[in-house]
Amino acid sequence: MTLDVSERRWWKEAAVYQIYPSSFADHADGGNGTLRGILSKVDYLKDLGIDVLWLSPIYTSPMADMGYDISDYQAIDPRYGTLEDWDALRDAVHARGMKLVMDLVVNHSSNEHAWFRESRSSKTSPKRDWYIWHSGKVNEAGERVPPNNWRSTFGVGSTWEWDEGSGEYYLHTFLKEQPDLNWENPAVRDAVFEMMRWWLDRGADGFRMDVINFISKAEGFPDAPITDPKEIYQPFGNLSINRPRVHDHLKEMYEKVLKDYDCFCVGECPGSEGPDSFALYSEPSRNELQMVFTFHHQCFDRGNGGFGRGWNADWKLSDLKKEWNRWHTELPKRGGWFANYLENHDQPRMITRMACESPENRARSGKLLALLQCSLTGTIYVYQGQELGPVNVPHAWGEEEYKDVESIQLIQGERAYLERVGITGSEADEYMAGVLRDLRQTARDNGRTPVQWDDSKHAGFTAGEPWMRIHEDYPEWNAAAQTKDADSVRSFWKKMLALRTEYPSLVYGKFTPLDEESNDNYCYTREWPETGEKLLVLLNFKRDDGTGGPITIDTAKLGVDTTGARLIASNDNAKEGSGINGPVTLEPWCGRIYLLKEGKNLPN
């Protein structure tokens, strides 16, 4: 079969690095990351093997939600620098053959955005319909109440906020400082499209689109089903997620903006539907996006299997594998493309979650996760610091160290619940201890501690007082030490990213899971029929009491022909180039990738 070269795309083969600007690098002494700080690390990222830099929001913002509440889409927040600083970063990135992607946050704006200030000025404002307003309802007691029972994504309160000045409620699916834009208004869409063109014409190479599948709401705003009886307000679910009109808006975005640029577009798309639903966003003939982030695999250790911040310590590897196996097999069948990530600014560190953070196992665990992620399907996303093997914040940190608004509101909401139901004393203390235990495992703060560049004061992040506490392990776990160490987690990540360019079946190959019910191993093959190349991946994720244990995998029982197998990557002491002669024993948190069949050369 002849390889269809047209199926190869630079954005499929790219390694994307997400930068959370506040915590990346401060070039001065302000204690907050800056664009000039990012500029100083471009060569570090190029050396790692990164192709695309994605900047989380750097726009002007009151920072109610760390920049995801934008007050001016075409201005840089002074804490990060200036547009001229952005230009310098763009030029440095492009000079190295890399690309620069911006965050697009257009489900909502800040309540301090000029659009919203004008919208709320009066019911007759020309921009009144740029946001979603409602007069509300009157309950049986004659009291004014919100239009429905939808719960804000943060906290446990309503998605509706009463605006005394103009005499109506406005909708905010996140914080009250983040009013939702009305995407049913063509003027809103045109303003967003004009802003996107402005950035692309300035030299941006594309967008990561924040909760882009939230931009359409159910007509009439019906009540959500009661799924949390202890609370007044309920998760809105598909009443504001993945609605059919989202696809209409994205097709229009493509026609009016994206088709004119060779740009990189990935949508963040929460939701509980399966691959059939999410493939629609990235199936090429539909002309919407190139790929989307889904969240199904991020729920494996959450209480009740949900999207909240409760922690389930008794999660099973087989359950997590079922999610990955489903998505890595079904999404490609439906023409979709996968955004392959383990960590981001909204998630805790994966070594803590899925492997072992003990000193004797941490580096090996970090390398095992690199083996895993770099051998799964889709475009690779590395979250800042992930290449260094980071772990969650220390257990000893008190709640005052949690800076994220979601964590703060969750703590406040749980205390309000205890007060509402009259739980006090030791019972209340025990309850809140459980809340804080869960946050240590699941909070967004875990991924937002500043990057540890070296062993100097404040880990080389800043010469000033950092906005968030530095993890205490920075004297040992830092980029300077790992860059010099050929056996470090970072050096292993560099090798694995290079391996994806050497073996294209890691990008384009069919994913076939093996031994799916095992709770000890994760095994699968990657095969690209067009070239004949085939790889076997064997990973030891045995947890036992949390410290792991050795396992033996009989590849013959997996139904894989390993005649002529050749080892191409591992995080143990196995000799590269060695074969498989009988069962394979893997030490705790170890994995290997074998080449089973050579592939023919690709056409130019």
- Cα–Cα distance measured from residue 25 to residue 519, given in angstroms and rounded to the nearest whole number: 39
Q: Are 337 and 12 in contact (CB under 8 A)?
A: yes
Per-residue CA distances from 87 to 53, 135, 316 (Å): 14, 45, 47
Report d(CA 251, CA 246) in Å as an integer.
9
Task: Name 586's bridge partners.
Answer: 551
Cα-Cα-Cα-Cα torsion 24, 28, 29, 30, nearest 10 degrees, comes to -60
Q: Write down the catalytic residue from 268, 288, 387, 530.
A: 268
CB 301 within 8 A of CB 312: yes
Taking the C-alpha atoms of residue 190 and residue 253, their distance in angstroms, rounded to an integer, is 9
Token pair listed for 206: 């594309």
Out of 180, 210, 387, 445, which one is annotated catalytic? 210
406 labelled catalytic:
no
Give dist(CA 483, CA 466) in Å, integer.
23
Phi, psi angle pair for 206, to nearest 5° = 145, -165
Active site residue 51: no
Cα 352 to chain centroid distance, Å, stands at: 16
Which H helix or E strand runs over 308? none
Q: Residue 471: left if φ>0, alpha if ψ -120 to 50, beta else—which one?
A: beta
Show the CA angle centred on residue 592, arms to residues 589 and 597, nearest 5°.
160
As a whole number of angstroms, the distance between CA 528 and CA 587 comes to: 29
Pairwise CA distance, residues 183 & 196, whole Å: 15
- Number of continuous H segments (helices) and E segments (strands) in the chain: 16, 22
Give the integer Cα–Cα distance in Å for 290 and 262.
Answer: 11
Bridge partners (DSSP) listed for residue 304:
none
CB 212 within 8 A of CB 268: yes
Phi then psi for 505, rounded to 5 degrees?
A: -65, -20
Active site residues: 210, 268
